């Protein structure tokens, strides 16, 4: 996978849309990366919960498929029935295919930029997007792949990554469920009030699985190549793992007057909970500044300026 910069994950240019498509749909994972037992996977496959895997094919997964298996595994561990899993799969995947969600999305975006062009001159990026969408209209066979790739679940993943907002699922005791994407700067507490979902429920945020990339050293290559961490953020993670941290000072985004300093012990180790806290903040981009002092006398100081967060 080629290097993808975080700013390239936005969908307001052909380059950004292409980068997002590659990030979501390139098959770079194996089943073992999901932590799902192969026998359990075969049961799910027989029940129609992973129809994106072709019969007889070696299991290779893209990011959307990887995250879906992680959701299924979470539901399994919480005792959710296969019937509920199938209902969720049909709502997120099967329904999107039957409704041709990809075509609906294409028409919506095409109409938006086409109408915008009648109001003002389009920017270079906007013009290129409109031309690219017109090309798909001119060659309908190109839309076949998009139809298979586009689902309501992939839209949740795309929203989570592109706009740095939380997205996921609420599952209730009666086996009903709601999918959600928080607005920028929104909070889960506000959403609970808005959706009147204060009754008991299972809350599955997709960022929880994305954060697993930060905690799992085996996925470092994906972290850096996908752009989920920039070079400065990755260096902080690397120095923590190398036990080369003297101190880390964090300025929090939601309250820039709140500053926390984390010190290492005499061996250069940061307590497990503190290390996870730093990784969590980096993954959510929920900081305005980081200052890292290493044991070998080096200092790294950087800020995060984008306002949209998980």
3-state DSSP call for residue 258? coil
DSSP per-residue letters across 262-275: EE--TTSPPPHHHH
Sign for the pseudo-dihedral over CA of 125, 131, 137, 143: negative
Residues 77 and 201 both lie in one domain: yes
Q: Whole-angstrom Cα distance, residue 101 to residue 60?
A: 24
Residues 174 and 263 both lie in one domain: no
Residue pair 259/290 in contact (Cβ under 8 Å)? The answer is no
| DSSP letter assigned to residue 8 | G
Sign for the pseudo-dihedral over CA of 159, 163, 169, 170: negative
Residues 172 and 243 both lie in one domain: no
Residue predicted with more confidence, 28 or 194: 28
Which residues fall within 8 angstroms of residue 26, CB to CB, at 6 or more apart? 1, 62, 63
pLDDT digits (tens, 9 = 90+) for 83-126: 999 999 999 999 999 999 999 999 999 999 999 999 999 999 99
Residue pair 18/128 in contact (Cβ under 8 Å)? The answer is no
Residues 158 and 276 both lie in one domain: no
Please give the pLDDT value at position 227. 59
Q: Is residue 142 part of a domain?
A: no
Q: Is residue 35 part of a domain?
A: yes
Q: Is residue 135 part of a domain?
A: no
DSSP per-residue letters across 23-49: HHH---EEHHHHT--HHHHHHHHHTTS
| 307 band by pLDDT with thresholds 50, 70 and 90 | very low
Please give the pLDDT value at position 1. 45
Q: Outline where the chain has alpha helix (H).
A: 14-25, 31-34, 38-46, 63-77, 82-89, 95-98, 101-117, 124-138, 142-149, 152-163, 188-195, 207-215, 220-226, 231-241, 272-284
Residues 71 and 202 both lie in one domain: yes
pLDDT digits (tens, 9 = 90+) for 78-95: 999 999 999 999 999 999
Please give the pLDDT value at position 286. 66
Q: Whole-angstrom Cα distance, residue 38 to residue 30?
A: 11
Residue predicted with more confidence, 276 or 247: 247
pLDDT digits (tens, 9 = 90+) for 198-250: 678 888 988 778 766 655 554 566 566 555 677 788 888 788 777 778 888 88
Domain that residue 14 falls in = 6-100+150-210
Residues 92 and 16 both lie in one domain: yes
Residue pair 227/6 in contact (Cβ under 8 Å)? The answer is yes
Phi, psi of 60 (to 5 degrees): -125, 140
Residues 165 and 268 both lie in one domain: no
Q: Is residue 15 part of a domain?
A: yes
- Residue 266 tokens read as 């005499």
Residues 24 and 92 both lie in one domain: yes
Sign for the pseudo-dihedral over CA of 160, 26, 225, 244: positive
Q: Is residue 184 part of a domain?
A: yes
Q: Is residue 240 part of a domain?
A: yes
Residues 17 and 89 both lie in one domain: yes
Q: Is residue 144 part of a domain?
A: no
Which residues fall within 8 angstroms of residue 309, CB to CB, at 6 or more apart? 164, 165, 184, 185, 253, 284, 285, 286
Q: Is residue 222 part of a domain?
A: no
pLDDT digits (tens, 9 = 90+) for 151-170: 999 999 988 877 767 789 99
- The distance from CA 95 to its chain's CA centroid, rounded to whole angstroms, is 22
Number of folded domains in the chain? Answer: 2
């Amino acid at each position: 996978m080629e290097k993808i910069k975080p700013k390239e994950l936005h969908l307001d240019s052909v380059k950004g849309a292409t980068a997002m498509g590659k990030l979501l749909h390139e098959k770079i994972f194996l089943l073992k990366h999901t932590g799902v037992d192969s026998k359990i996977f075969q049961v799910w496959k027989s029940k129609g919960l992973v129809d994106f895997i072709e019969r007889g094919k070696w299991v290779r997964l893209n990011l959307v498929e990887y995250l879906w298996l992680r959701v299924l595994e979470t539901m399994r561990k919480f005792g959710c029935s296969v019937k509920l899993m199938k209902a969720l799969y049909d709502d997120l995947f099967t329904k999107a295919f039957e409704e041709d969600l990809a075509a609906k999305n294409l028409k919506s975006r095409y109409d938006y930029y086409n109408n915008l062009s009648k109001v003002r001159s389009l920017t270079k990026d906007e013009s290129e997007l409109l031309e690219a969408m017109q090309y798909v209209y001119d060659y309908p066979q190109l839309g076949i792949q998009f139809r298979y790739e586009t689902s309501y679940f992939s839209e949740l993943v795309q929203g989570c990554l592109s706009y740095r907002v939380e997205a996921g699922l609420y599952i209730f005791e009666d086996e009903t469920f709601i999918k959600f994407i928080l607005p920028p700067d929104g909070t889960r507490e506000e959403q609970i009030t808005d959706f009147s979902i204060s009754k008991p429920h299972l809350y599955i945020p997709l960022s929880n699985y994305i954060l697993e990339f930060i905690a799992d050293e085996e996925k470092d290559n994906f972290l850096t190549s996908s752009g989920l961490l920039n070079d400065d953020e990755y260096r902080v993670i690397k120095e923590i793992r190398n036990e080369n941290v003297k101190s880390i000072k964090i300025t929090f985004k939601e309250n820039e007057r709140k500053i926390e300093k984390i010190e290492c012990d005499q061996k250069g180790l940061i307590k497990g909970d503190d290390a996870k806290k730093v990784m969590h903040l980096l993954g959510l981009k929920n900081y305005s500044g980081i200052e890292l002092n290493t044991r070998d006398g080096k200092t790294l100081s950087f800020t995060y300026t984008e306002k949209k967060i998980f």
